[in-house]
Amino acid sequence: MLRILNDRAASDRFFNRFYRSVKK
């Protein structure tokens, strides 16, 4: 469970960064 949560947090963080870069 902890592993999934950690993975989700990392994915969310990466997606947010990518989305912000694309949206600019």
Q: What is the pTM of this model?
A: 0.45
What does the pLDDT read at residue 1? 65
Write the pLDDT tens digit of every residue in 1-24: 678 777 888 999 999 999 999 987
What does the pLDDT read at residue 13? 93
What does the pLDDT read at residue 4? 74
What does the pLDDT read at residue 16? 93
